[in-house]
Amino acid sequence: MHAANLVAHTQSLDHLLQMGPVIPVLTIERLEDAEPIGQALYDGGIRVLEVTLRTECALEVIGLLRQALPDIYLGAGTVLTPEQFQQAEAVGADFVVTPGTTEALYDYGQQSHIPLLPGIATASELMHGWSKGYRRFKFFPAEASGGVAMLKALAGPFPEAIFCPTGGIGTEQLAQYLSLPNVPCVGGSWLTPKDHLQAKDWGAIQLLAEQTLAVYSTAKRFSS
């Protein structure tokens, strides 16, 4: 049963990762900012978001965005325990993302109705996740763990593994990552800089989203 569930989860993640060539990683401090941030990103062409569970209102943010933007795919990020995983399920998250992965999280993810994108940073961590039935991974912290060179190296022994690198990535590195065959998307927080959030400059966030997706289109043309 778990094996069939994980196959379905892999298919769901493939769809999500292809839908979101760039996944904004959001840490939202004020609940009232959630809907305008989500709307600005959606209007800029973003279809997948990750809301990190780093603030007191994070779960409420996911629930609010679930209602306000029903066409967007919502991930719960920085999930550290099965209890948080369960809370993310309850508020309507479409998938869960972890910075690293414990045995308990792998086991909970096997029976969950939503997919887990487990965080890994080394070949050994990847092999552990693979042995548990997982085929899609968050590569974190990407830049600090070897970046593009590391992902190229992992493609040799693990040709079927697919990654969403996150951590330390900005527009300068985006095209390099997206040109890799094992990287359909990249996660990052640069789409919602603190100064834009403090100024409530939602138009600037929409423009950043549009500009970032233009980089993606260029990268894929270059790699094809």
Catalytic residue numbers read 50, 138
Q: For residue 19, give the 3-state DSSP assignment.
A: helix
Residue ranges of alpha helices (H) inside 115-190 are: 123-131, 147-155, 171-178
Strands, sheet with 136-139, edge to edge from the N-terminal-most edge strand: 119-120, 136-139, 162-165
Contacts of 116 (CB under 8 A, 6+ apart): 9, 85, 95, 96, 97, 98, 105, 106, 108, 109, 134
Spatial distance between the Cα atoms of 13 and 10, rounded to a whole number of angstroms: 5
